């Protein structure tokens, strides 16, 4: 019977669950686990991050890409609180994750020892919490049980983060326990009677619309969704920051249903007589502040399909609520027999036409033409490149003008926080490259980059590469936009004094280039794609160009005119 310390057993359990990479910042509270990573370094890699928020974002990216829990290790107190931004993102974005927190020893507990935090209270599971489950492992022999349960909890139902607390002394105990077998997520299948009801609702509709998104999608599920849409000639929109769920090049694609939505698409959803929501929670961003679908009872007929019973009929009272994982739902929908005649062919064709029209840019001031730059990016990036971003108006350029080939063809290609977390894009892109070897492209803003730009050091240390296009306009753009709308001409707290980002990137070991004109971009981007080194391209963009559709000066004029009338 093999005897080993508990920290080594924990690493063995992760390997049994298929984990190849763990992200984190080392701490003295889990030295025994770090030693386990060294012992099993040929089977699992510990990625050393520079800040716990970046580590948790990388674990979130891991969960999105693999469909299995991303893994993050942090120490107690400051480490755990720094990581909480990633836990909150994983919760709101329904991403499977397990956060391991090294804690004070059991003999010091409940004395407010050094950096001691009550993690149940801090992460506490609730309908508005940060984690699905928070548990403390006091008995080292039960480590396999806790890890297997954490993985099952993180993946089943609505996926999300689980927090496991590890007392420092517990990890040093000798144990003879062995890892439990790999846990697989459970598939929840659609009730056949409900499927018949859904078909009847489709047959009675004149203006149906599908909103697909959320988490839990696989390439196979996305392919089945596409066949369902084709069988019934349905227009399909992707929910907020789930734009890779349905192929954006497909003739039935209608656009993204999120922030900065195409006004014609927003009106189309309002005019629909049947909305079939497959996967999304139908949160604030996807519903434009609960206006596209009125809460709690929409004007449209609503079919809501979700993997969690707790999400169904929680915000919206659906006419038909179906409990199902995305794989099972899509495979069930694709076999629904469509009639010989579809009455909404023109409706679907116009939805696609509106989407194509929305790809045509408005004329905006300045020497940088962002739609032209996005066109270069879209033309040169490999189809399977992973695109990442954090939160900010800068992301809207990619959201509006880049067309994802999507899950059905190449797997997950968009990693972006529906929770609106700044600083997500840089670490997520690095993680994507380390985990998959695929090209990783990140669009960032100046304020967004400085949240987690230090993770460039992590990329260089571990042989990762990403291409970052950083839009530098010298302001927190989203906040400045809202200030002009609400308090025109009165800027407060949103101005930024920035470093030389290209020089900063070079200091970390990336290539760094600054451009001031559109014509300079293509050659620089080609060099970045060809280089074995990561690259940051700083794009100096006019502060006035605040969205893909308008300027700060126009917003200011409209706000002042409104105030004058009042």
pLDDT tens per residue, range 145-172? 999 999 999 999 999 999 999 999 999 9
Last residue of a domain, which of 357, 383, 410?
Answer: 357
Q: Could you tell me if 262 and 113 lie in one domain?
A: no
| Residue 108 in this model has a pLDDT that exceeds 90 | no
pLDDT of residue 504: 98
Rounded to the nearest integer, the mean pLDDT of the chain is 95
Last residue of a domain, which of 175, 207, 225?
Answer: 175
- CA-CA distance, 52 to 99, in Å (whole number)? 11
Mean pLDDT of all residues in 192-213: 97
Helix, strand, coil fractions of the chain, as percent rounded to 5: 40, 15, 40
CATH number at residue 208: 3.40.50.1220
Confidence tier at 563 by pLDDT (50, 70, 90): confident
Mean pLDDT of all residues in 77-93: 96
Q: Could you tell me if 398 and 347 lie in one domain?
A: no
Q: Could you tell me if 312 and 384 lie in one domain?
A: no
Q: Which is nearest to 538 in space by CA: 528, 547, 548, 550? A: 528
Q: Could you tell me if 309 and 410 lie in one domain?
A: no
pLDDT tens per residue, range 297-307? 999 999 999 99
Last residue of a domain, which of 311, 334, 357?
Answer: 357
Mean pLDDT of all residues in 46-59: 98
Does the residue 528 lie in any domain?
yes
Q: Into how many domains does the chain fold?
A: 3
Q: Could you tell me if 142 and 239 lie in one domain?
A: no
pTM score of the predicted model: 0.96
For residues 161 and 132, the answer to whether their CB atoms sit within 8 Å is: yes
Least confident of 19-28, 127-136, 499-508, 545-554: 127-136
- CA-CA distance, 198 to 333, in Å (whole number)? 9
Does the residue 184 lie in any domain?
no
Does the residue 364 lie in any domain?
no
Strand runs (DSSP E) across 395-510, as ranges?
414-415, 440-445, 467-472
The domain in which residue 421 lies consists of 370-565
pLDDT of residue 197: 97
Q: Could you tell me if 441 and 353 lie in one domain?
A: no
Strand runs (DSSP E) across 244-385, as ranges?
253-257, 274-278, 301-306, 320-323
pLDDT tens per residue, range 368-420? 999 999 999 999 999 999 999 999 999 999 999 999 988 888 889 999 999 98
Q: How many CB atoms within 10 Å of residue 487?
A: 12
| Residue 341 in this model has a pLDDT that exceeds 70 | yes
What phi and psi values does residue 68 have, to the nearest 5 degrees? -115, 160
Q: Pairing relation of β-strands 174-175 and 4-5?
A: antiparallel
CATH number at residue 127: 3.40.50.970
Does the residue 107 lie in any domain?
yes
The alpha carbon of 493 is separated from its chain's Cα centroid by a whole number of angstroms, namely: 28
Mean pLDDT of all residues in 439-447: 97
Confidence tier at 70 by pLDDT (50, 70, 90): very high
Classified as helix, coil or strand, 400 is helix
380 sits in which H/E element:
helix 370-380
Q: Could you tell me if 389 and 522 lie in one domain?
A: yes
- CA-CA distance, 476 to 13, in Å (whole number)? 43
| Four-residue CA torsion sign, 157, 159, 161, 163 | positive
């Amino acid at each position: 019977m093999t005897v080993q310390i508990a920290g080594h057993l924990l690493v063995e359990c992760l390997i049994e669950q298929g984990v190849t990479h763990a992200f984190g910042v080392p701490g003295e509270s889990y030295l025994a686990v770090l030693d386990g990573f060294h012992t099993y370094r040929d089977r699992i890699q510990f990625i050393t991050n520079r800040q716990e928020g970046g580590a948790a974002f990388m674990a979130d990216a891991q969960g999105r890409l693999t469909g299995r829990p991303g893994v993050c290790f942090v120490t107690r107190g400051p480490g755990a609180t720094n990581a909480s931004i990633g836990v909150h993102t994983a919760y709101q974005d329904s991403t499977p994750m397990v956060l391991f927190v090294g804690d004070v020893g059991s003999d010091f507990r409940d004395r407010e020892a050094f950096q001691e935090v009550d993690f149940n209270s801090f992460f506490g599971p609730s309908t508005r919490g940060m984690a699905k489950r928070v548990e403390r492992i006091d008995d080292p022999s039960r480590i396999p049980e806790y890890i297997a349960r954490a993985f099952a909890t993180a993946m089943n139902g609505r996926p999300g983060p689980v927090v496991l607390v590890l007392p420092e002394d517990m990890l040093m105990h000798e144990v003879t326990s062995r890892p439990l077998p790999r846990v697989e997520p459970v598939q929840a299948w659609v009730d056949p009677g409900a499927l018949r009801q859904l078909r009847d609702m489709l047959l009675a509709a004149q203006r149906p619309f599908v909103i697909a998104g959320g988490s839990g999608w696989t390439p196979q599920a996305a392919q089945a969704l596409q066949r369902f849409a084709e069988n019934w000639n349905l227009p399909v929109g992707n929910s907020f920051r789930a734009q890779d769920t349905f192929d954006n090049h497909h003739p039935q694609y209608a656009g993204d249903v999120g922030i900065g939505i195409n006004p014609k698409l927003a009106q189309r959803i309002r005019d629909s007589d049947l909305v079939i929501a497959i996967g999304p929670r139908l949160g604030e961003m996807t519903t434009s502040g609960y206006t596209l679908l009125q809460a709690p009872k929409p004007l449209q007929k609503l079919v809501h399909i979700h993997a969690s019973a707790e999400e169904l009929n929680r915000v919206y009272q659906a006419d038909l609520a179906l409990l199902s994982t995305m794989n099972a739902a899509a495979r069930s929908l694709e076999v629904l027999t469509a009639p010989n005649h579809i009455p909404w062919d023109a409706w679907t064709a116009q939805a696609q036409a509106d989407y194509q029209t929305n790809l045509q840019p408005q004329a905006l001031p300045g020497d940088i033409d962002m739609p032209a730059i996005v066109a270069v990016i879209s033309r040169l990036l490999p189809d399977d490149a992973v695109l990442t971003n954090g939160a900010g108006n800068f992301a809207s350029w990619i959201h509006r003008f880049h067309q994802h080939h999507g899950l059905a063809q190449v797997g997950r290609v968009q990693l972006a926080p529906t929770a609106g977390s700044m600083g997500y894009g840089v670490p997520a892109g690095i993680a994507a490259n380390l985990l998959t070897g695929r090209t990783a492209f990140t669009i960032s803003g100046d304020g967004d980059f400085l949240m987690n730009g230090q993770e460039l050091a992590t990329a260089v240390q571990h042989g990762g590469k990403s291409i970052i296009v950083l839009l530098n306009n010298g302001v927190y753009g989203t906040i400045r936009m809202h200030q002009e709308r609400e308090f025109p001409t009165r800027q407060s707290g949103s101005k930024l004094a920035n470093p030389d980002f290209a020089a900063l990137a070079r200091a970390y070991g990336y290539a760094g280039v600054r451009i001031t004109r559109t014509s300079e971009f293509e050659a620089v981007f080609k060099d970045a794609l060809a280089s074995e080194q990561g690259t940051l391209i700083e794009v100096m963009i006019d502060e006035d160009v605040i969205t893909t559709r308008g300027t700060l000066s126009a917003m200011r004029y409209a706000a002042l005119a409104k105030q004058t009338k009042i």
